[in-house]
């Protein structure tokens, strides 16, 4: 099991020692896994990562544990840690949980979101459109994430967002793989806009139905792609 060496992992992180280091390492590795810079099957080394990031091995170990809880890495005692394979069972479960939570959240947003949150959502959609026009799928994915987060914040359901984040790691990898499909990002933007209008106009049933339609689009995306998991293993 070959480990990821320092040259294989993009060095685009600046650890701020004034903030929890393990949290920063976790966020960095999570993004590298979701964007497939670290592919399923890639072995990860506590020692090499601690050297690269300029931190002790303890925060790296803590980040591994959290990533394991999210289903993004597999830890094998006495053998090491690898980036987890994409598991369809976990994707189905995460999608189920996300749909239950986010349809309830957007329904509540349609009857109680404030003007400031609506302004932030509108600005987010403007940025989404710009990312779409430039085919910047990484930015679009981040703005997609922010759009859903803003809905949670708009109804003060920050804990619900943390629950969603904790279960959807496997889901996000599939979302990232599917985003470059012709017309897919444009469809996501159109659905976000429809959800926003339903929230803005105070139509909770419409907002919930549109959110459910938006989230279940994942299955159509999976059907359109040829997902050969072996091509991700190294």
Q: pLDDT grade, residue 224 (50/70/90)?
A: confident
pLDDT tens digit string along 109-159? 999 999 999 999 999 999 999 999 999 998 999 999 999 999 999 999 999
The answer to whether residue 59 is domain-embedded is yes
Q: Is the pLDDT of residue 93 over 50?
A: yes
The answer to whether residue 234 is domain-embedded is no
Among 19, 54, 83, where does a domain finish?
A: 83
Dihedral over alpha carbons 27, 30, 36, 38 (to 10 degrees): 100
In terms of domains, do 100 and 167 share one? Answer: yes
Query: H or E segment at 12?
Result: none
Q: pLDDT grade, residue 2 (50/70/90)?
A: very low
Phi, psi of 188 (to 5 degrees): -60, -45
Q: Is the pLDDT of residue 84 over 50?
A: yes
In terms of domains, do 100 and 214 share one? Answer: yes
In terms of domains, do 20 and 114 share one? Answer: no
In terms of domains, do 78 and 107 share one? Answer: no
Q: Is the pLDDT of residue 223 over 80?
A: no
Q: Is the pLDDT of residue 30 over 70?
A: yes
Kindly state the percentage of the chain with pLDDT values over 70: 90
- Arithmetic mean of pLDDT over the chain: 87
Exposure string (b/e) for 62-75, b if CB count within 10 Å is 16 or more?
bbbebbeebbbbbe
The answer to whether residue 1 is domain-embedded is no
Q: pLDDT grade, residue 230 (50/70/90)?
A: very low
The answer to whether residue 232 is domain-embedded is no
Among 83, 107, 122, where does a domain finish?
A: 83
CATH of the domain at 22: 1.10.10.10
In terms of domains, do 111 and 200 share one? Answer: yes
In terms of domains, do 100 and 216 share one? Answer: yes
Total domains present in the chain: 2
User: What sign does the CA torsion over 80, 81, 82, 88 have?
Assistant: positive
Q: pLDDT grade, residue 43 (50/70/90)?
A: very high
Q: Is the pLDDT of residue 104 over 80?
A: yes
The answer to whether residue 99 is domain-embedded is yes
Q: Which two three-digit tokens encode residue 143?
A: 């703005």
Whole-angstrom distance between the N-terminal and C-terminal Cα of the chain? 9
CATH of the domain at 169: 1.20.120.530
Q: Pairing mode, if any, of strands 43-44 and 73-76?
A: unpaired
Per-residue pLDDT at 226: 57
The answer to whether residue 233 is domain-embedded is no
In terms of domains, do 115 and 33 share one? Answer: no
Domain residue limits at 197? 88-227
Q: pLDDT grade, residue 7 (50/70/90)?
A: very low
Mean of pLDDT values over 53-63: 92
The answer to whether residue 186 is domain-embedded is yes
In terms of domains, do 135 and 46 share one? Answer: no
In terms of domains, do 78 and 103 share one? Answer: no
The answer to whether residue 123 is domain-embedded is yes
Q: 169 near 71, Cβ under 8 Å?
A: yes
Among 38, 55, 83, where does a domain finish?
A: 83
96-105, 118-127, 166-175, range with the lowest pLDDT: 166-175
Q: Residue 44 pairs with which residues in a beta bridge?
A: 81
DSSP for 172-203, please give it.
Answer: HHHHHHHTTSTTHHHHHHHHHHHHHHHHHTT-
In terms of domains, do 98 and 77 share one? Answer: no
In terms of domains, do 126 and 178 share one? Answer: yes
Angle between helices 158-167 and 137-154 (to 10 degrees): 140
In terms of domains, do 120 and 151 share one? Answer: yes
Per-residue pLDDT at 218: 83
Query: For residues 232 and 230, what is the distance between their CA atoms, to the nearest angstrom?
Result: 5
Angle between helices 21-34 and 57-69 (to 10 degrees): 50
């Amino acid at each position: 099991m070959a480990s990821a060496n320092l040259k294989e992992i993009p060095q685009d992180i600046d650890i701020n020692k004034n903030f929890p280091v393990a949290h920063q390492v976790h966020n960095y590795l999570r993004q590298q896994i979701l964007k497939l810079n670290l592919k399923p099957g890639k072995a990860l080394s506590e020692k090499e990562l601690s050297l690269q990031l300029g931190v002790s091995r303890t925060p790296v170990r803590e980040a591994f544990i959290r990533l394991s809880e999210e289903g993004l890495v597999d830890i094998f005692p006495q053998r090491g840690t690898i980036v987890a394979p994409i598991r369809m069972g976990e994707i189905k479960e995460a999608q189920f949980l996300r749909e239950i939570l986010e349809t309830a959240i957007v329904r509540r947003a349609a009857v109680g979101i404030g003007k400031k949150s609506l302004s932030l959502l509108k600005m987010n959609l403007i940025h989404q459109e710009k990312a779409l026009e430039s085919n910047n799928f990484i930015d679009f994915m981040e703005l997609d994430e922010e759009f859903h987060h803003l809905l949670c914040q708009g109804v003060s359901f920050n804990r619900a967002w943390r629950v969603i984040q904790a279960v959807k790691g496997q889901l996000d990898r599939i979302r990232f793989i599917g985003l470059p499909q012709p017309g897919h990002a444009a469809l996501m933007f159109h659905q976000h806009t429809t959800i926003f209008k339903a929230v803005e106009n105070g139509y909770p049933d419409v907002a919930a139905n549109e959110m459910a339609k938006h989230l279940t689009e994942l299955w159509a995306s999976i059907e359109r792609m040829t997902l050969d998991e072996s091509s991700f293993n190294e």
